[in-house]
Amino acid sequence: MSAIAADMGMNESHEPGDAEERVLAAFKKEREETNQSRMSPQMIRDRVDDSKQTINYALSQLTAAGWVEKKSRSVYELVDDPREEADP
């Protein structure tokens, strides 16, 4: 368990579905390109070929699992993907 996951009460046993995986990939790509991982649902839709409803559902599932945090009405942030190894 990563330190972030332990501190946040993250559900590490959550198994993301296909749409959730695409949303996670969008967050990670944003982090790679801009060094931050905050995105609006519209920004995610611009990167992912899914419907508004699918993106919103994926975000709600990831938020409930503690992997993503809702920062404001239209801004979400990737907290952690507990499947990734922490940097030493």
Query: What does the pLDDT look like over 10-60, one tens digit per residue?
Result: 888 899 999 999 999 999 999 999 999 999 999 999 999 999 999 999 999
Token readout for 9 is: 């009460």
Query: What does the pLDDT look like over 37-51, one tens digit per residue?
Result: 999 999 999 999 999
Q: Average pLDDT for residues 61-70, to the nearest whole number?
A: 95
pLDDT of residue 2: 44
Q: What is the pairing mode between strands 75-78 and 38-39?
A: antiparallel
Please determine, for residue 80, whether its predicted confidence score (pLDDT) is greater than 70: yes
Q: Which CATH number applies to 3-11+19-78: 1.10.3720.10, 1.10.10.10, 3.40.190.10, 3.30.70.1450?
A: 1.10.10.10
Token readout for 14 is: 């959550």
